[in-house]
Each structure stands twice: as structure tokens, then as C-alpha cells.
Structure 1
Amino acid sequence: MTRGYSNSWKLLAVVLGTCAMLSACGTSEASEPQEQLPVEQTAEEDAMITPDNFMDTLMKGSKEDIYKQMSPELQEIISLDEFKTTADSFMEGTASWEKVTEFKMNNLVESSWKDQTGTKGIQASFAEDHQIAGLLIQPLETHEATDKALTKTAFQFPMKGEWFVFWGGNDVLSNYHYAHETQRYALDIIRTQDASSYQGEGTDNEDYYAFGEPLYAAADGKVVEVKNDIPDNTPGVMNAEAPEGNVVVIDHGNGEHSITAHIKKGSVAVNKGDNVKQGDLIGHLGNSGNSSEAHLHFQVSDGPDIFTSRSVQIRWADQSQKLTRGNSFQGLPY
């Protein structure tokens, strides 16, 4: 984080930001269908805070109105006075905001904005009943030298078909990993249909479109680490004792190691010491480790240990696709 801001809004960024993590998406039951609005809306409905008027309200309107729409969980974390004080402090000196992402996923609409300098970011998640379910207010620090230092290896995305980037990008607004040097350029990827990552109630791993999908070697190399015995979690319950879960680490030379994490228990198809070619099957996607739902965690690091090595910006063989938060893209062809 940059210097010069009060500790109070730093706390706001930390505690409210947790509501926007992958762990908060995909496991709650769907909201009740909303009735069609009449042609003539009530004054209360006209005053509703939405993604379209959120920033104008935060800058020039009533912060009380925003606070009233926060979920009970957020209101338990921060009082109205604390919210007003921290928001005013953060907004000071900011002239304008630009919306950078907006997408709907699992009954939430998420929008994010950057200020005119690109050094401040705000992210808000709205439920179908207009309740503000998540709020992140945070400075945006960049690391230009490593942002531009791409891998020497050209990688292919390690899965087939269409996928959705839940976390990915070069700031903490689009990629919470970015705050940590060891995972700065990591990706969290899910599969979606009709703006949802699951079908049914989302209570079983098999409900998730990503669960069980085959994983492939992203480039030629030698397998240097394998874990295959970590149980898959019940959706919504994470295993912090083994954060990466089942994993395959491949040494591609040039000090570059791909790390494919959260693999399905017992599905790893390679052994330590194996030489693999790009496109070889290495396992199936699961929900093991510090994972709330079936998703791929993929990164390239300058060493084999995800917790001590530095993450490296990936050079993709297909550079036409944007693997940044909120975007869908095509992986390997079927």
C-alpha cells in the first residue's frame, strides 16, 4: 500500500475486501426472483444505489444511503461514522473516476473504478435485491519492472474450451494476488454458464462447471513436485493447512516453473521426474487446498516453491486474449 493514508481506511480495505474474494462467490443459494418493476417507480426505488450511480453518490451524495444498503455483515464490521470518515479521507483530492470492470456472476453484479491517476481503486458487489454485499476501497500500487518482464517460455493455457478470469491483472483491484510477490501474476480461473459458476444449489463439487475438467502441461518440461492426496473440499469450506492443495510443478528451464494448483484428489496423471510435452494430460481440476469452489490457480514462478519463489508475468503463445478479471477467453481447442 502507498503511504500517507489513515489506518482506518486501510482497515476498511482489508476487512471489506474479504467479501470480494473467490471464497464469497458460488456457494450461497440463489436469491429469490425479483418482481418486475412497474412503469412508475416509487421515490424509494428512484433513490436506490446501483452500480450506475454508486460513484456519484459516494463523491457528491449521501453516504448514509450507501451505508443503509450495505449487508448486515458489512455493517457489523464498520459503523456509519467510520465509513463516512474513511471514505471522505480516501476520496480527498480525487476529481474523477472511470469504471474499469462490470460483470454479473453468481447472482452478484460487481463493478470497479479507478481514479484519474490510476492510484486509487474502488470495487462494489451488488446482490439481486440491491444489497451491497462487498466493498473494497484501496490504493493501487504498481510494479512496472516486473509487470513488463515476461517469461522466456511461451505458455499455452492448460485447459480446453471457454473459461472466465475471476482474478487476474496487474493491480489488486483486478487480482488480489498482486499484493504478494510470490503470487503477483497468478490467475484464478473458473468455468461459467449463464453468468454462474455452478448449477443447482452449488453444495456439491459436481455442481461446478470447472470440477473434474482435464488439465494439461502448459509447456514442455520436467515434473519436479507432485501432491495427489489432499481431499477435495466441500464447497465453501477451505483447507488453510494445505493452501495449494494437490499440485503439479513443472520446470520449464530458464528458471521458470509452472504451478498448477487445486487439482482433484487422486487425479494427478504424472510423477515427479517425468518429462512432459506441452499438451500432455497432468490431472483433473478439483477443489483441494485453500479453495472455496472448483477453480484453477495457475502461475509461473522463478522457483518450484509457491511460497518462497517470485511470481513471473506469463508470456502466452496466444497474445490476442486478455486474461484479466471479468474476461472470458478460449483455452485449448477440443
Structure 2
Amino acid sequence: MVPTLELAFPFRGRWLTLNSPANRVPSHGTTLFASSFAIDFVPVDEAGRSAPVTLGALLRPEPPEHFPGFGRPVLAPVDGVVVATAGDQPDHRAFRGLPSVGYALTQRRRAAAGWVGLAGNHVLIDTGEGPVVAVCHLQRGTVEVQPGERVRRGQPLGRCGNSGNSTEPHVHLQAVDRVDLLHACAVPVTFGGRLPRNGEVIDVP
């Protein structure tokens, strides 16, 4: 059995838990790219909303800047050494209704690019004890670390974005047993000894 990796939440403030492995495994509905235990966190306001609700938002895509969580700091969830980064992928328009045909076409291109295309702007951190942690969908041009740099948990990595396989600004977090995501195995994670459930709001001072 693969040992569980203990992580810190990669943010401060109020965030909503989505696609939690506390509710189902594989959490994202697929084992592709070792995502079985991956978890998503969406920045929300005091009312628990990722952005004000409008009729137009349900009918058409919006710039990611309409979401108040876009650009929130994203922090290292673990101590380790940065082994890979990407920071130049664009933040595409966001969807709170049904994604459009246009998004489906761009999604096909991202999937064809492999894990890097789906992850968008990201940071990979080698814990030095086996697992590697991926922090994904960061805002373009905000990645603050580089390969070879040692980081401590709580250290800024970048900002919340909408790059890669993302329909609205959020952070995708997963742990794997090696840097090669195509051949990696998923590693289960916990936060403070537990997993937040799908739909749970997390407040971190």
C-alpha cells in the first residue's frame, strides 16, 4: 500500500473543495496521469461563491479577471526541491455554465499535449522522500520559483490562474511517485490528517 503524504493547504483565505478523493477514487473520474487522488480548490468569497452570479455568466464565457480569486497567492504545500515549472501558458476564458464548443476544441489540443497541456502553468516539487507534488493551473507569468530551488511549505509559488484544463480559476493538487507523469503512480494525500470532502469550504488564516 502506498504511504499517504501529509500536505499543507496551498493557500490562505476561503476556498471550496471540489473533486475530492474523500468522495470517490479516482477523484477526477480517471486514473490518467496518476490523478486518482488529485484534489481541486476553488477560491471563493465570504458567501462561498467563486464570483457573483449573473445570467450572462451561465450563458457565455467570462474573462478570468471577473473571478475575485484569480490572482490569489498559491503556496508550497510541502518542503522540497523544485524539479519542473511552466509559466507561459495563457489563462483562457472561464465557464460557469456549459462549456462551449470552442472550449471543447481547445481541450482536445491540451489533451494531445499530454500532462503539461492539461496542467497548464505549474510547479513540481520533489519531497526528497519519494513523492513529487504538482501544483497546477497557475496564472500566466506569476511562477516565482525555478528548477533546482529549495522551497519551504507556505512559500509563495505563484498565483491562482485558469491555465490548462480549467473551466474557472482554481488550484489542482496531486502527488505522484516520480517526475515522469506518464508512468507515475498516484500517491494519496491528507491535510492535517484528513481529507476535506467535496463541497467543503476551507478557511485558512
Q: TM-score, with normalisation over the residues of structure 1? A: 0.50
CA distance in 2, matches of 1:306, 1:261: 13
Q: Which residue of 2 aligns with 1:184?
A: 36
Q: Following TM superposition, by how much is the alpha carbon of 1:192 offset from its aligned partner in structure 2, in angstroms?
A: 2.5
The aligned runs of 1:136-215 (5 Å cut-off) are 145=1, 149-151=3-5, 154-170=6-22, 172=24, 176-177=27-28, 179-180=30-31, 182-193=34-45, 194-199=47-52, 201=54, 202=57, 203-215=62-74
Deviation at 1:171, TM superposition (A): 5.1
CA distance in 2, matches of 1:284, 1:177: 22
1:266 and 2:118 matched: no
Matched, 1:284 2:154: no
Q: What is the distance in 1 between the residues matched to 2:195 and 2:130?
A: 25
Letter in 1 for 2:4: L
Report the secondary structure of 1:243's partner residue. helix
Tell whether the 8 Å contact from 1:168 to 1:187 is kept in structure 2 after alignment: yes
What's the CA shift for 1:254?
A: 1.5
Post-superposition offset of 1:306: 3.4
Structure 1 letter corresponding to 2:52: Q
Deviation at 1:301, TM superposition (A): 0.8
CA distance in structure 1 between the partners assigned to 2:156 and 2:4 by the alignment: 25
Alignment partner of 1:323 out of 187, 196, 200: 196
- Using the alignment, how far apart are the partners of 1:310 and 1:278 within structure 2? 23
Query: Do the aligned residues in 2 keep the contact of 1:217 with 1:280 (CA within 8 Å)?
Result: yes
Q: Which residue of 1 aligns with 2:100?
A: none
Of 118, 122, 127, the residue aligned with 1:243 is 118
The structure-2 alpha-carbon separation of the partners of 1:303 and 1:158, relative to structure 1 and needing over 3 Å to count, comes to same
**1:132-176 deviation line (CA, Å, top 9, x unaligned):** xxxxxxxxxxxxx45xx312xx3211100121111102454x864
Amino acid at match of 1:198: A
- Aligned residue identity for 1:298: L
Is 2:84 the partner of 1:225? yes
Aligned residues: 181
The equivalent of 1:296 in structure 2 is 171
Q: Deviations over 1:240-273 (max 9, x none)?
A: 3211100100001121111000000000000111
Match of 2:113 in 1: none
Give, in whole Å, the separation in 2 of the partners of 1:208 and 1:161: 15
**Hey, which of these two has a bigger chunk of helix by percent?**
1
Larger Rg: 1
Q: Distance in 2 between matches of 1:315 and 1:188?
A: 13
Q: 1:207 to 1:175 in 2, by over 3 A?
A: farther
Q: In the TM superposition, what whole-angstrom CA distance separates every residue of 1:64-123 from its partner, at most 9, and x where no partner exists?
A: xxxxxxxxxxxxxxxxxxxxxxxxxxxxxxxxxxxxxxxxxxxxxxxxxxxxxxxxxxxx
In structure 2, runs of 5+ residues without a counterpart are 96-102, 111-116
Displacement of 1:284:
0.4
Alpha-carbon contact 2:27-2:37 (below 8 Å) kept: no
Deviations 1:200-240 (A, max 9, x none): 64422122232111011111111000001000011133643
CA distance in 2, matches of 1:171, 1:322: 9
Give distance in 2, aligned partners of 1:288 and 1:245. Answer: 5
Deviation string, structure 1 residues 291-314 (Cα, Å, up to 9, x no partner):
111011001111123343111111
Misfit runs of 4+, over 6 Å: none
Give the deviation of 1:195 after TM superposition: 4.4
Q: Which has the higher contact order (CA 8 A, sep 6+)?
A: 2
Q: Distance in 1 between matches of 2:72 and 2:180?
A: 25
Q: Does the 8 Å contact 2:27/2:38 carry over to 1?
A: no
